[in-house]
Amino acid sequence: MVKLSKICRREWIGKVKKQIVTLAAAAMLSSGFAAKASADTHVVKKGDTLYQLAIKYKTTVTELKSINKLSSDSLYINQSLQVPGTANSVPSVKPPSPAIPSAANTYIVKSGDSLSKIALNHKISLKDLMSWNQLTHHIIHPGQVLKVSKTASGNNDKEPSAPAPPPATAPSGSSGNYTVVKGDTLSLIASRNNITVQQVKEWNKLSSDLILIGQKLIISAAGLKPSTEKPTEEVKEENSSVSTVLAEAQKYIGVPYKWAGTAPDGFDCSGFIYYVLNKTGSSLGRYSTDGYYSRSYYISQPQPGDLVFFENTYRQGISHMGFYLGNNQFIHASSNGVEITSLENSYYKKHFDGFKRFY
């Protein structure tokens, strides 16, 4: 009986050991499966955005939206997303994709960005930024990758060049005509043809900057390429007008800030613009910052006397403005009163929207 009991005990111990080994193997397999799953998916947490996840998983917003068949940038908590790999692991081998320009030469658009703001922050012109990215409009979206250097190219043998102007459908022998296509603006057409917006408007008897697709425009005087400079008399008149406006504006440096103020006892930013313009002969009405914003158009090469706008200062949206003085400075009615400030000022650089000019 004693000998039989020892045999039973050994068999029981053997069975227990076998069960322990089996459970350990199952745990290892389960752990391996979980690791693989985590490398392919991400569960959305509060505060996650596609832009943040693209950076974390070393991919792009466009790729994340594509592999997850997303039609918008909206995410919801506990949503499972397919991702190329974990942030700390080596991505799985994928088919070769187009070379991505180095981060130093590119910029990923964030919510609230505008082309003018990006150009200013990278010390480049709006014209170059649009040319390097082959843009014909000012519309950009979060997650979009923009080249912010001429050398930002996936192929060093090819440099991005400015988009060629759409072929004009002018009659044979008439090189001074152009037919408007989708995406055109007077500023773009003038820039491509080395002329001014004012010349295009004069030659075509336009009273505003509104143009229509299919509309035919005269883009040279008498069929000849016009001079890139305005006649001396016109330049003199324009410079005189600008000088008068800016000289008037500088008379009020130090005048205190006053909400809705439109007189020398106190100005707010739009009231300052209104007072100076009317004091120098303009008949423009009294509008808010948004009102002046909607009555002006973006420009890529600002001149003294143009407007400079800022967003999301004391409220969301376009909320502050001033006159551009040149040399990266502007004059405005701030909370400190009327003063001259540099666009390199960290606060205003952060809230910069762009340069505009009245229609």
The confidence score (pLDDT) of residue 48 equals 77
**pTM for the model:** 0.41
Comparing 154 with 46, the larger pLDDT belongs to 46
Separation in Å, CA 42 to CA 57, 65, 71, 78: 10, 13, 18, 9
Residue 336: what pLDDT? 92
Report the distance separating Cα 293 and Cα 305, nearest Å.
Answer: 15
* Statement: residue 316 has pLDDT above 80: yes
Q: Residue 243: pLDDT band by 50, 70, 90 thresholds? A: confident
Beta-carbon neighbour count of residue 47 at 10 Å? Answer: 8
- Indicate whether 257 pLDDT > 90: yes
Q: What is the mean pLDDT of the chain?
A: 74
Condensed to tens digits (0 to 9), the pLDDT of residues 88-123 reads 444 444 444 444 445 568 888 887 777 777 887 888
Q: 30-39, 113-122, 311-320: which has the minimum mean pLDDT? A: 30-39
Give the pLDDT confidence score for residue 23 in this predicted structure: 55
What average pLDDT score do residues 319-327 get?
Answer: 92
Q: What residues are paired with 42 via a beta bridge?
A: 81
What local confidence, expressed as pLDDT, does residue 51 receive? Answer: 67
Q: Quote the pLDDT of residue 286.
A: 92
Q: Give the mean pLDDT of 197-217.
A: 79
pLDDT at 346: 92
pLDDT at 84 > cutoff 50: yes
Mean of pLDDT values over 257-281? 94
Confidence of residue 347 (pLDDT cuts 50, 70, 90): very high
Tokens read off for 222: 């008498």
Task: Supply the residues annotated as catalytic.
Answer: 269, 320, 332
CA distance 19 to 15: 6
Above 50 in pLDDT, residue 204?
A: yes
pLDDT of residue 33: 45
Mean pLDDT calculated for residue range 8-27: 59
Long-range own/partner contacts, residues 85-93 (CB < 8 A, 24 or more apart):
85/39, 85/40, 85/57, 85/58, 86/38, 86/39, 86/57, 87/56, 87/57, 87/58, 89/39, 91/58, 92/39
CB atoms within 10 A of CB 120: 23
**Is residue 300 classed as helix, strand or coil in its secondary structure?**
coil
Q: Which domains does the chain have, with CATH numbers?
A: 2-82 (3.10.350.10), 98-164 (3.10.350.10), 166-229 (3.10.350.10), 232-358 (3.90.1720.10)
CA 339, 342, 347, 352 torsion-angle sign: positive
**pLDDT in the model for residue 175:** 56
Q: How confident is the model at residue 352 (pLDDT cuts 50, 70, 90)?
A: very high
Question: How confident is the model at residue 242, as a pLDDT?
Answer: 83
Residue 301 CB partners (closer than 8 Å, separation 6+): 125, 126, 127
The region of weakest confidence among 141-145, 279-283, 286-290 is: 141-145
The position carrying tokens 């009615």 is 333
Helix (H, G, I), strand (E, B) or coil at 335: coil
SS3 207: coil
Cβ neighbours of residue 347 closer than 8 Å, sequence gap 6 or more: none
pLDDT of residue 312: 92
The token duo for 290 is 């948004």
pLDDT bucket at 272, cuts 50 / 70 / 90:
very high
Of the pLDDT bands very low, low, confident and very high (cuts 50, 70, 90), residue 319 is very high
Asked whether the predicted pLDDT for residue 240 surpasses 60, the reply is no
Across residues 245-255, what is the average pLDDT?
91
Neighbours of 292 (CB within 10 A): 23
**C-alpha to C-alpha distances, 191 to 40, 230, 242, nearest whole angstrom:** 48, 14, 22
Separation between Cα atoms, residue 128 and residue 135, nearest integer Å: 10
Backbone φ, ψ for residue 28 (5° rounding): -65, -45
Radius of gyration of the chain (CA): 31
For residues 135 and 96, the model is more confident at 135
